[in-house]
Structure 1
Amino acid sequence: MSAEQLTLENLTVLNLIACGSFGKVYLVKDQAGTIYAMKQLSKQKIIMMRQVDHVRQEIEILRQVKSNYIAKMYSCFQDDKYVYMVFEFIPGGELFFHLRRYEQFPVEVARFYLAEISTALGYCHDQLGVLYRDLKPENVLLDKKGHVKLTDFGFAKQCRELTFTPLGTPEYMAPELIRQTGHHKSADWWSFGILAYELLCGHAPFMHDDLNVLYQKILKGQFVFPPDIDPDAQDLITKLLNTDRDKRFGANVQTGTKDIKAHPFFNGVNWNWIEKKLVKPPIVPEIKSSEDLDFWKNAAEEFVADEDEIQEMVEQGGFGEIPADGGKALFAWV
């Protein structure tokens, strides 16, 4: 059986991997014993939260992806209650988990991850014309050898012009998303700058529990580096965190990715080797078996998704209901 023929009937659920706002991710196995990660999304929540178009875009984009650095989607199907997406299982867990273990990374370690992540973003921008819009260490996974895999394209959009939808994770959102003045691929490079700072310093440059205060910090674009941060890293991050979207490093439509890779911070990086995943990763997860979830235990516990949430949303006046046909027409693109 090919991966494209996978259905709920020929998959066995082994364990819960993670939970999210719209559903859960399970470790599953097909009849041949091949392991996958299956994302189960609640149709009711998708409809109520007006996310049908975002889920459609996510699936359409993932069907086009052919990159070593993006988690591969093998199959997609639906039943009356859920949309299912079957991915390769990435056993090394989130980069976020590993960063918290070490608190912050030495410059050479950070350089490695940023090189692979920039290659993934460059592929999205230059090959697919896709804005990713949700770069953060929770969405960067490590495979069994320690290489990067970008995941969760729920906010991604295929667009080569300005777009205006304000979405993303607050600490990583570019100023233009907060202002809602229109954004393009340079918003991803802003998030890349936030991530670079976090990998090297152990925390994001803009932080506050009050969202309004956080947004004001981001709009002002004022931040400081801890002592002893690599000068080239400081220069790269400062240019990436330019509050002017059009002057931001990487904003050039034709040369954005090349400009990033040519920065002195990446001097000595063999980009051909990076493309082919020939550079040895600094962290190699110790994977005991194909079903090992050691690096995913915390992810499954962080968010408890419960069907009672749906009922609560209905009682509070949800935005929609699943059609009588189980949403088969509404989700016909699955």
Structure 2
Amino acid sequence: MSITRCHMMVMVNFQIFISMLTKYVRDTSASQRARAIYRTPSPGSIDSGFGSDFERLRLTESKDQVQKQDQKSQSYAKRSKSRRSSSNERKWFRCDEVTEDYSDADDVYENKRQSTKRQSSFSLDEVALSEIRYIGDLGGGGFAKVDLVEIKRFPGRKYALKRLSKRAARNQEEYLRSEQETLLRARSRFIPRLFQTFETSSHLLLLTEACLGGDLFSVLERNGILPDNVTRYVIACVIEALEHLHETLGVIHRDVKTENILVDSNGIAKLGDLGFCKRLSLNECVETHTFCGTPGYCAPEMLNGGANERFCDFFSTGVVMFECATCRSPFRRQSHRETKRATLRGIDDVTFPPHLGPVTAHAIRSFCANSPNRRLGALGCEEVRRHDNFRSFSWDRLRNGGMKSPLLDLR
């Protein structure tokens, strides 16, 4: 009997213990959820009990504190956003600079900004020959070939690599060095820019900007006779290039022709192939007697063995102007001898087509005058600008890049 009573008391006590334990677990879980919601720290040594009034009071106080902290955080976030917005509105930031807020972690952001600037200021002077990748052919001549290339580190940027063979130009190494020197000194948007030079045992290589519009000879082949505004634009670009060569660099080109006038992707005509450039002395006798150039473009004084002064470049410019306006050469004939005779007879012996206006015809005849001192440009490029053919032409817009090239309108 006593055994049965003891067993019953144990069962009752066990049930009471289970009920108390269940209530304890339920209240503890609720307390933990409340802490998670209100972001309260762990109670630590404080016993939360069975959801006592002390614990509920503590949770309420913690909730108020957390709300105040949240308000402070939101206010700080608004101020930070305002600072970032104001910094992004500043107009003096360069496009290659980082515009984040530097109020926090200044060192990290400053290192990132310096790294970005180093990448953006990459110079082609750092390029090695092994980094150049061949894409295709752009053209070539007697002892030179021009390839379209790109830099492996920066794919998508196209350049022209002119390869000059030392073996094919054994007796003309002076011209190779002359082109290299002139391009290095040139700073005109109407002359192709030289970025880097390389030299191997067999070749001299020049890395220049790529004029992907082809040369003027190809433009004439595709389009025929050029409109007056296009012809005027091309000749104006040539005049700007010649002024830079003559007056700034002190050299004469001596090979102005349609094959050496290149068109870039913006339609700007650039005077290239400076291999025949000759540096003039600084004294009064600014001339050279070396014969070079292309038959049909050479001035009469060059054919007679006379002095090659800057006037010969204006004669060749007149020939180019005639070819743009008529799509034929004024002096070129079946043989070099006949071409020389036609050149020496002069421009007055050339028949002009009837579609040429009197102003254009006068400009061509003035450029190609037999007497160098009577030639258009003998008094400088400013004389060319004052000619009636360029009366309404904006030279300032051309120089400043504000003029749209009419070459872009051609097919």
- Using the size of structure 2 for normalisation, the TM-score is 0.66
Q: Matches of 1:224 and 1:86 in 2, distance apart?
A: 43
**Aligned position for 1:329:** none
Q: Matches of 2:224 and 2:179 in 1, distance apart?
A: 32
SS at match of 1:16: strand
1:181 to 291, 306, 309: 306
**Aligned position for 1:251:** 378
Q: Matches of 2:407 and 2:398 in 1, distance apart?
A: 16
**Aligned position for 1:235:** 362
- Give the deviation of 1:285 after TM superposition: 7.7
How do 1:263-274 residues align onto structure 2 when only pairs under 5 Å count?
263-274=387-398
- Give the deviation of 1:27 after TM superposition: 1.2
Which residues of structure 2 form unaligned runs of 5+? 1-121
**Aligned position for 1:41:** 164
SS at match of 2:185: coil
Contact 1:146 1:285 in 2 (8 A): no
How do 1:1-334 residues align onto structure 2 when only pairs under 5 Å count?
1-30=122-151, 31-33=153-155, 34-47=157-170, 50-160=171-281, 161-221=286-346, 222-252=349-379, 256-284=380-408
Q: Matches of 1:178 and 1:280 in 2, distance apart?
A: 38
Identity of aligned residues (%): 30
Which structure dedicates a bigger proportion of its chain to helix? 2
Contact 1:116 1:148 in 2 (8 A): yes
Q: Rg: which structure is higher?
A: 2
Q: Matches of 2:333 and 2:138 in 1, distance apart?
A: 29
Q: Deviations over 1:3-27 (max 9, x none)?
A: 1222321111122221211131111
Q: Matches of 1:248 and 1:205 in 2, distance apart?
A: 17
Contact 1:122 1:257 in 2 (8 A): yes
Structure with the bigger RCO (C-alpha within 8 Å, sep 6+) is 1
Contact 2:295 2:332 in 1 (8 A): no
Q: Deviations over 1:123-146 (max 9, x none)?
A: 111111110111111111111121
Which residues of structure 1 form unaligned runs of 5+? 287-294, 296-334
Q: Matches of 1:142 and 1:128 in 2, distance apart?
A: 22
2:400 maps to amino acid: K
Contact 1:198 1:205 in 2 (8 A): yes
What CA RMSD, in Å, does the superposition of the two structures yield over aligned residues? 1.5
Q: Deviations over 1:170-210 (max 9, x none)?
A: 01000011001112000000001101111111111112111
Contact 2:280 2:288 in 1 (8 A): yes
SS at match of 1:226: coil
- Give the deviation of 1:149 after TM superposition: 1.6
SS at match of 1:162: coil
- Give the deviation of 1:283 after TM superposition: 2.3
Count of residue correspondences: 282
